[in-house]
């Protein structure tokens, strides 16, 4: 017996009873992250879905210390906690900011950019569900081109593409950048374990399907996350000291497969999909080209 | 934690959580409930013997060949036979076939049987002896299977066989280049060793009749289709004319039948192809004449390919109209060309003669293999007979007191070795119900895992092992086995390709992908903690092999509706 597909650590640090929606991908990502980072971790969470998921005061489901902070301040407070730990001589504990796409791409960006420029010794994780899901599915600069949100309704879907946060972060010349997906848990956990052992600013970007905001079937959460990788919409790569490596080399599924499972894209026309496919192909080629640059 | 903070002076009041969220039983959110349920694999559902294919392949993939063999032995006493001569519907319906190539299930079965051949006799546990006696008539695949399963259930069985040795069509019908006699002997010995009394050279109708079997509590009749159909032309008694079964029987008894240089075989079924290939091995040039085309041939396609490769000529759309003989010696046949018309009852296109297309094929011998039928002259009127076969209920009961019927003798049976073995098994079950004075029950319908139910994202393409046959020029010289066996490494590789449809292999996917940490390990497998399971269904979706099922949770909707009605 026992034909394991993924070899990952056994212990769960995240605890049962959290408040995530049915079929939410965030607790999955949190579970995998904590498996990679271990118990000696302090989490810094700005206003986001995870502020709710963690539980009601005075309870917490995270299993590690977690500091709730204002939405603009995740990277700044994480830097501060790191400095405090360094003062008392604790170099073992990892400080990780765990922010949504709003807290990363938009509101939290100046703090993030500042911390990156100072090369603070923290891990900054963006769990990206492509809109302000907690406040009511509002458009963020992470929402994809032509996606429906409550502030980009069907009469005028989002008409600009998603910001490429990974390459913006790469231009900050920080030591480690990676993208991770909940559908590839072994790769996910390996990246966090790698990040843990690097000093300096580390940025990890996770795409997490949101069944409420993306209008999907809760059971398809992992399937959709996997399709995002397989279609090349969300390529899995890591940038270590400026050198980019692809972790999932196949791009064999057309983007339509990814879109047809999501209600937020149900208005897409054939020609829209063709355009998006072309963009995805172009972006994929660009990454392939970059992997060959030494 | 809070004590520590109090000690530090001048710290502003801070809200600190002191406990976890375990009090929050999120199971109350659930409206869809997942549960573990192993299902029947598509291959297993199509096996006429009812072999648990996915399970024995899983054992084989772990190198536990004996365990795999024991699993087959629960359902079929003849794995070495089926591993060679079955037409393997399991491979046709193998879910992996829709992904890349089907698993070589038949070869794995054959390997397990051959591997265990020198490891001593292994049969499942025999139930407590019962004081009941059953007579089984016919020791072909159906009779042997019925005998075996009755013996396992603890009945005393006496097996009657008309010929010198047991095996029926397996011995006298199937040539040894497809089924070596030592394999057959070995497996029959295993069955008989379970305490079976065998009476050979005892033919029903000649040496005894059904009325002589009053002393037995039940009778299982599995005499098979043992009579070749005739063409109905004059001259069939001429010298040099054989019937297919008669010829095969003589060849399989070890006789080198003397044939002329040119042999004509009439027919398109498995018997026709077998006779043609045997005649070839007796040193003749063989031409097979069939009245329809290749597509309509009932013979196993692979065998037809082999026959062509060996140099047998196939003449399609041709039907004999006259047997030519001089002085009582066969000289050739007069034939007519045919064309295909509308489909008939069998679903195949009906051959229609073309006028004026007569021609002659010369030859020294003709072997007529246009089908077989049971010899049923001994049956009295109380049996319901259609198409020279006996009509039974689903359990094989003939309607005549304590007589059950199985194998090819049953009306609308599919006339294959595997279905005969399956029919013997269900016959034994029916007899068991009957002797315990219980009603014969139909089998419950089980859930089947088809290709659409799998999550193929977790499987990667891998080619099937190559099955090799002996060289065509060498193999036509004698009757030695054609298909070569495989090594244990190849079997492990091949069985690791198996998807194990509907069978939990403890792959951990449900445990890994549960966002609520509600899946717990058990000794073998998992269980769901319904206090916390929110019912998202991710485990159901991410299970590669459809082991998890979903059902709607029962809620209090009933009360609401009632109140509305009262208003």
Please say if the pLDDT value at position B128 is more than 90. Answer: no
Q: Do B538 and A219 touch (CB under 8 A)?
A: yes
Please say if the pLDDT value at position B125 is more than 90. Answer: no
Our CA-based measurement puts residue B16 at a distance from the nearest CA of chain A, in whole angstroms, of 6
Q: Do B544 and A5 touch (CB under 8 A)?
A: yes
Please say if the pLDDT value at position B17 is more than 60. Answer: yes
Our CA-based measurement puts residue A85 at a distance from the nearest CA of chain B, in whole angstroms, of 16
Q: Judge whether B56 is closer than 8 Å to chain A, CB to CB.
A: no
Q: By residue range, what is the domain housing residue B345?
A: 230-372
Q: pLDDT tens digits, residue range A69-82?
A: 999 999 999 999 99
Least confident of B65-79, B523-537, B546-560: B546-560
Whole-angstrom Cα distance, residue B277 to residue A239? 66
Last residue of a domain, one of B322, B356, B372: B372
Residue B445 domain-assigned (yes or no): no
Contacts B26 to A, Cβ<8 Å: 16-19
Mean local confidence (pLDDT), B123-136? 87
Q: Judge whether B177 is closer than 8 Å to chain A, CB to CB.
A: no
From chain B residues 370-399, the ones with a CB under 8 A of any chain A CB are none
Tell me which residue in A24, A57, A185 faces B512 most closely, judged by beta carbons.
A185
Please say if the pLDDT value at position B1 is more than 60. Answer: no
Tell me which residue in A2, A4, A61 faces B20 most closely, judged by beta carbons.
A61
Please say if the pLDDT value at position A9 is more than 50. Answer: yes
Please say if the pLDDT value at position A66 is more than 80. Answer: yes
Our CA-based measurement puts residue B514 at a distance from the nearest CA of chain A, in whole angstroms, of 7
User: Which of residues A206 and A7 earns the better pLDDT score?
Assistant: A206
Please say if the pLDDT value at position B167 is more than 90. Answer: yes
Predicted pLDDT at B232:
85
Predicted pLDDT at B9:
64
Chain A residue closest in CA terms to B496: A3
Q: Do B21 and A25 touch (CB under 8 A)?
A: no
Report residue B255: phi and psi, to 5°.
-85, 135
Pair (B287, B354) in one structural domain: yes
Contacts A226 to B, Cβ<8 Å: 457
Chain A residue closest in CA terms to B23: A17
pLDDT confidence bin for B441, thresholds 50/70/90: confident
The length of chain B is 567
Residue B13 domain-assigned (yes or no): yes
Whole-angstrom Cα distance, residue B424 to residue B432? 12
Pair (B199, B256) in one structural domain: no
Pair (B307, B244) in one structural domain: yes
Predicted pLDDT at B442:
76
Sequential DSSP letters for chain A:
----S----S---S-TT--PPTT-SHHHHHHHHHHHH-SSEEEEEESSHHHHHT-STTB-SSSS-EEEE-TT-HHHHHHHHHHHHHHTT--SSEEEEEEEHIIIIITTHHHHHHHHHTT-S-EEEEEE-SSBTTTTSB--TTSPTT---SSS-TTS---SPPP-HHHHHHTTT-SEEEEEETT-HHHHHHHHHHHHTS-S-EEEEEE---TTTTT--GGGHHHHHHHHHHTTSS--EEEETTEEEES-----S-HHHHHTT-GGGTT--HHHHHHHHHHHHHHHHHHHHHHH--
DSSP, res B553 = P
Pair (B338, B407) in one structural domain: no
Chain B residue closest in CA terms to A64: B20
Predicted pLDDT at A76:
97
Tell me which residue in B21, B26, B506 faces A1 most closely, judged by beta carbons.
B506
CATH fold of A26-291, please?
Rossmann fold (3.40.50)
pLDDT confidence bin for A2, thresholds 50/70/90: low
Contacts A61 to B, Cβ<8 Å: 20-21
Q: Judge whether B5 is closer than 8 Å to chain A, CB to CB.
A: no
Average pLDDT along chain B: 90
Please say if the pLDDT value at position A258 is more than 70. Answer: yes
Q: Judge whether B536 is closer than 8 Å to chain A, CB to CB.
A: yes
Please say if the pLDDT value at position B6 is more than 70. Answer: no
Q: Judge whether B540 is closer than 8 Å to chain A, CB to CB.
A: yes
**Residues in a beta bridge with B32:** B552
Residue B116 domain-assigned (yes or no): no
Our CA-based measurement puts residue B459 at a distance from the nearest CA of chain A, in whole angstroms, of 9
Please say if the pLDDT value at position A266 is more than 60. Answer: yes
Please say if the pLDDT value at position B36 is more than 90. Answer: yes
From chain B residues 494-513, the ones with a CB under 8 A of any chain A CB are 500, 505-509, 512-513
Mean local confidence (pLDDT), B154-164? 94
Percent of chain B with pLDDT over 90: 66
Please say if the pLDDT value at position B567 is more than 50. Answer: no
Q: pLDDT tens digits, residue range B484-516?
A: 999 999 999 999 999 999 999 999 999 999 999
Tell me which residue in A5, A15, A59 faces B509 most closely, judged by beta carbons.
A5
pLDDT confidence bin for B7, thresholds 50/70/90: low
Contacts A4 to B, Cβ<8 Å: 506-508
Best of A1, A181, A182 to mutate (most B CBs within 10 Å, chain B): A1
Average pLDDT along chain A: 94
Mean local confidence (pLDDT), B81-95? 94
User: Which of residues B446 and B539 earns the better pLDDT score?
Assistant: B539
Pair (B171, B235) in one structural domain: no
Residue B251 domain-assigned (yes or no): yes
| A241 and A282 Cβ atoms separated by less than 8 Å | no
Q: Do A16 and B457 touch (CB under 8 A)?
A: no
Q: Judge whether B62 is closer than 8 Å to chain A, CB to CB.
A: yes
pLDDT confidence bin for B565, thresholds 50/70/90: very low
Domain total in chain B: 3
Query: Number of residue pairs across A and B with CB atoms under 8 Å?
Result: 124
From chain B residues 516-535, the ones with a CB under 8 A of any chain A CB are 516-518, 524, 529, 531-532, 534-535
User: Which of residues A189 and B257 earns the better pLDDT score?
Assistant: A189
Pair (B172, B212) in one structural domain: yes
CATH number of residue B181's parent domain: 3.50.50.60
Predicted pLDDT at B415:
83
Last residue of a domain, one of B355, B372, B389: B372
Contacts B505 to A, Cβ<8 Å: 1-3
Tell me which residue in A59, A182, A185 faces B21 most closely, judged by beta carbons.
A59
Predicted pLDDT at B12:
76
Chain A residue closest in CA terms to B63: A1
pLDDT confidence bin for B555, thresholds 50/70/90: low
Pair (B382, B351) in one structural domain: no
Residue B49 domain-assigned (yes or no): no
Q: Report how far apart, in Å, the C-alpha atoms of B190 and of each of B66, B142, B181 are.
A: 15, 16, 14
Contacts B58 to A, Cβ<8 Å: 1
Pair (B361, B431) in one structural domain: no
Our CA-based measurement puts residue B83 at a distance from the nearest CA of chain A, in whole angstroms, of 24
Pair (B274, B346) in one structural domain: yes
Tell me which residue in B18, B507, B537 faces A5 most closely, judged by beta carbons.
B507
Q: Do A22 and B535 touch (CB under 8 A)?
A: yes
Pair (B162, B285) in one structural domain: no
Tell me which residue in A15, A58, A223 faces B22 most closely, judged by beta carbons.
A15
Ranges of each domain in chain A: 26-291
Please say if the pLDDT value at position B414 is more than 60. Answer: yes
Report residue B274 as tokens: 């077998």
pLDDT confidence bin for B438, thresholds 50/70/90: confident
From chain B residues 9-48, the ones with a CB under 8 A of any chain A CB are 15-26, 29-30
pLDDT confidence bin for B566, thresholds 50/70/90: very low
Beta strands in B271-398 (DSSP E): 285-289, 313-315, 318-326, 329-343, 349-353, 359-362, 365-368, 372-373, 385-386, 389-390
Contacts A14 to B, Cβ<8 Å: 517
Best of A7, A22, A29 to mutate (most B CBs within 10 Å, chain B): A22
Pair (B175, B263) in one structural domain: no
Residue B380 domain-assigned (yes or no): yes
Pair (B336, B247) in one structural domain: yes
Q: pLDDT tens digits, residue range B317-363?
A: 999 999 998 888 899 999 999 999 888 887 888 889 998 899 999 99
Please say if the pLDDT value at position B267 is more than 60. Answer: yes
Our CA-based measurement puts residue B99 at a distance from the nearest CA of chain A, in whole angstroms, of 15
């Amino acid at each position: 017996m026992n034909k394991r597909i993924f070899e990952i650590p056994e212990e769960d640090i995240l605890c049962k009873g959290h408040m995530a929606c049915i079929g939410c991908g965030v607790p999955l990502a949190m579970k995998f992250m904590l498996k990679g980072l271990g118990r000696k971790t302090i989490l810094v969470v700005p206003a986001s879905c995870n502020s709710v998921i963690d539980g009601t005061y005075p309870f917490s489901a995270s299993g590690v210390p977690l500091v709730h902070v204002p939405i603009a301040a995740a990277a700044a407070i994480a830097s501060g906690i790191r400095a405090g730990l360094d003062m008392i001589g604790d170099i073992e504990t990892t400080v990780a900011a765990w922010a949504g796409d709003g807290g990363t791409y938009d509101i939290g960006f100046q703090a993030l950019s500042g911390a990156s420029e100072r090369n603070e010794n923290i891990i900054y994780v963006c769990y990206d569900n492509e809109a302000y899901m907690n406040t009511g599915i509002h458009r963020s600069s992470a929402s994809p081109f032509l996606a429906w949100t409550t502030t980009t309704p069907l009469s005028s879907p989002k008409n600009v593409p998603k910001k490429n946060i990974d390459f913006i972060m790469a231009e900050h010349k920080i030591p480690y950048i990676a993208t991770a997906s909940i559908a590839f848990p072994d790769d996910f956990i390996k990246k966090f374990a790698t990040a843990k052992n690097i000093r300096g600013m580390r940025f990890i970007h996770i795409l997490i399907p949101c069944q409420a905001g993306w209008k999907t079937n809760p059971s398809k959460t992992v399937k959709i996350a996997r399709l995002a990788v397989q279609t090349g919409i969300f390529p899995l790569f890591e940038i270590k000291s400026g050198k980019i490596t692809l972790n999932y080399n196949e791009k064999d599924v057309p983007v339509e497969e990814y879109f047809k499972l999501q209600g937020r894209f149900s208005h897409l026309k054939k020609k829209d999909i063709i355009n998006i496919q072309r963009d995805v192909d172009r972006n994929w080629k660009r990454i392939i080209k970059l992997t060959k640059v030494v | 934690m809070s004590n520590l903070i109090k000690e530090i002076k001048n710290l502003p009041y801070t809200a600190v959580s002191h406990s976890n969220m375990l009090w929050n039983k999120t199971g109350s959110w659930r409206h869809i409930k997942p549960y573990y349920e192993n299902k029947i694999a598509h291959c297993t559902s199509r096996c006429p013997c009812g072999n648990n294919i996915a399970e024995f392949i899983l054992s084989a993939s772990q190198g536990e060949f004996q365990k795999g063999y024991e699993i087959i032995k629960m359902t079929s006493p003849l794995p070495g036979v089926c591993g060679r001569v079955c037409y393997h519907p399991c491979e046709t319906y193998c879910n992996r076939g829709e992904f890349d190539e089907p698993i070589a299930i038949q070869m794995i079965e054959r390997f397990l049987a051959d591997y265990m051949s020198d490891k001593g006799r292994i049969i499942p546990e025999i139930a407590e002896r019962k004081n009941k006696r059953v007579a089984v008539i016919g020791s072909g695949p159906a009779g042997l299977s019925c005998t075996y399963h009755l013996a396992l259930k603890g009945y005393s069985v006496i097996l009657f066989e008309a010929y010198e040795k047991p095996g029926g069509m397996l011995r006298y019908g199937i040539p040894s280049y497809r089924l070596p006699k030592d394999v057959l002997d070995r497996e029959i010995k295993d069955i008989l060793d379970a305490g079976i009394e065998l009476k050979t050279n005892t033919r029903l109708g000649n040496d005894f009749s059904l009325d002589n079997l009053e002393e037995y509590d039940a009778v299982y009749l599995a005499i098979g289709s043992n009579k070749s159909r005739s063409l109905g032309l004059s001259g069939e008694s001429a010298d040099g004319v054989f019937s297919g079964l008669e010829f095969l029987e003589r060849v399989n008894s070890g006789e080198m039948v003397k044939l002329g240089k040119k042999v004509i075989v009439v027919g398109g079924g498995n018997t026709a192809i077998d006779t043609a290939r045997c005649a070839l091995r007796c040193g003749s040039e063989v031409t097979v004449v069939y009245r329809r085309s290749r597509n309509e041939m009932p013979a196993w396609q692979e065998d037809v390919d082999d026959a062509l490769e060996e140099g047998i000529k196939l003449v399609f759309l041709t039907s004999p109209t006259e047997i030519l003989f001089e002085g009582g010696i066969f000289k050739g046949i007069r034939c007519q060309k045919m064309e295909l018309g509308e489909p008939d009852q069998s679903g195949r296109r009906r051959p229609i003669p073309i006028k004026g297309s007569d021609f002659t094929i010369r030859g020294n011998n003709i072997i007529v293999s246009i089908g077989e039928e049971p010899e049923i002259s001994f049956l009295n009127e109380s049996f319901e007979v259609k198409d020279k076969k006996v009509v039974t209920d689903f359990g094989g009961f003939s309607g005549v007191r304590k007589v059950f019927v199985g194998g090819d003798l049953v009306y609308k049976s599919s006339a294959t070795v595997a279905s005969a073995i399956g029919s013997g098994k269900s016959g034994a079950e029916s007899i068991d119900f009957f002797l315990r004075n219980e009603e014969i029950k139909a089998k419950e319908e089980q859930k089947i895992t088809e290709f659409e139910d799998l999550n193929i994202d977790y499987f990667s393409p891998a080619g099937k092992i190559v099955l090799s046959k002996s060289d065509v020029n060498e193999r036509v010289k004698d009757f030695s086995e054609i298909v070569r066996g495989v090594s244990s490494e190849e079997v492990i590789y091949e069985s690791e390709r198996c998807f194990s449809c509907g069978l939990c292999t403890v792959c951990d996917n449900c445990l890994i992908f549960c966002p609520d940490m509600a899946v717990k390990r058990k000794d073998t497998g998992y269980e769901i903690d319904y206090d916390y399971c929110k019912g998202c269904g991710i485990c159901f979706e991410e299970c590669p092999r459809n082991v998890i099922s979903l059902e709607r949770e029962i809620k209090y909707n009933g009360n609401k509706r009632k109140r509305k009605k009262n208003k």
